[in-house]
Amino acid sequence: MAAQPLPPPQARLNRCLATLACQAADRAPLYAPAISCGVSSALLGRPVHTGTGSLHYAEVAAWADGEAAHAEFEARLVEDVVAVHRALDLDVLRMPWRMNVRPDARLDQYTFRFGPEAGEHTLWQYQPSTADFSPMYQSPRADPPEVRLRREVARLEAELADPLPAARALIAPTVALWRQFGAEFFVCGANAHIAVGLEPDDLELLVTAPDLVLQRTLLQAGQAIAMGRALKETGCPAIILGGGDLAGNQGPFYSPAMFRALVLPGYVQALAELNRMGVHYFFRSDGNLWALMDMLFAEAGCPGYGETDRVATMTVAAVRARFPHLVIWGNVSSSLLAGGTPAQVRAQARTALTEAGGRGYFQGCSNALVQGTPLENVRAMYAER
């Protein structure tokens, strides 16, 4: 008797599991790191909230209207995210990165204050044309960077005295999404960054307080391990979206020697345990990472790589030539998707699939489907699978 085709949900699960094992799958799973609200709204023909700065702005605005408004927003968010993934026939359902923070004041339609007006505070502003939501003003700080870092280290140490409760709380939205939609999608969304940050104060601390920076990195590793344990106890797909932006098209923003001394030990510590547990942690950063690749993917043994930036020479072909078993999460240029033609997008998407050789590659964009990305380009990318 001829084998019957698998039902779609089981087929999604099987292709994602095969891809994570860097084995042949029936096709590359379809994945979107982030989808701007504008792209999703155009796709569904109604206002929706799904990701990027436009989502962060919408959630902060909902909080500004009170707890009831925010609760309603959260319920709609899940509906919107699932509807968009269904419309695009994506295999991976990802809980988007959120800004679930209540502002102290709304100054106008697009501007919010976090913190007391008479004390330390930050003003955030939304730019509708680009869907960016970011700080526009930071009041003078009462304490120097090293003092603030010591407080952060103390907080992390206290949390790690009993890390599982905090880890369970952090993964709760992803686990809830999996419990509701895990029969339909391969669900992920747990985030555990091991990074130093890119603010001027963060970079200054690499020089002025390296021991504290290393201490924080090792504590972040402890958080990632706790998150892995929390995921394993639920049965939810044990996927952690990790890393931390640290590079541009020309290379890292701080030296590989600093990365080796102050950041790599955290990855070595975390991945030794996560890999043992069978947790897939993938490092994410845009930019040219060649100076760090051996440290991350050989020495530390990180099994996955996301936000793989084709524009910065991080092509599937080049990465695979050096790391044949590395799992790659998306490699179609977000800038090409935003500004190219459907034919150009299809050609690049087809190239990425060819370079992957039918294994270990999630088809998707390198970073996000940003505001203004034409729907025909999105469809062109996912038509290649």
| Per-residue confidence in pLDDT tens, the chain, 385 aa | 454 555 567 899 999 999 999 999 999 999 999 999 999 999 999 999 999 999 999 999 999 999 999 999 999 999 999 999 999 999 999 989 999 999 999 999 999 999 999 999 999 999 999 999 999 999 999 999 999 999 999 999 999 999 999 999 999 999 999 999 999 999 999 999 999 999 999 999 999 999 999 999 999 999 999 999 999 999 999 999 999 999 999 999 999 999 999 999 999 999 999 999 999 999 999 999 999 999 999 999 999 999 999 999 999 999 999 999 999 999 999 999 999 999 999 999 999 999 999 999 999 999 999 999 999 999 999 999 9
Asked: is 8-45+143-383 a CATH 3.30.360.10 domain? The reply is no
Sheet holding 361-362, edge to edge: 190-191, 239-241, 280-284, 304-306, 327-329, 361-362
Strands 239-241 and 361-362: unpaired
Three-state DSSP class for residue 138: strand
Q: How far is CA 332 from CA 153, 368, 369, in A?
A: 38, 10, 10
Strands 239-241 and 247-248: unpaired
**Segments making up each domain of the chain, as ranges:** 8-45+143-383, 46-142
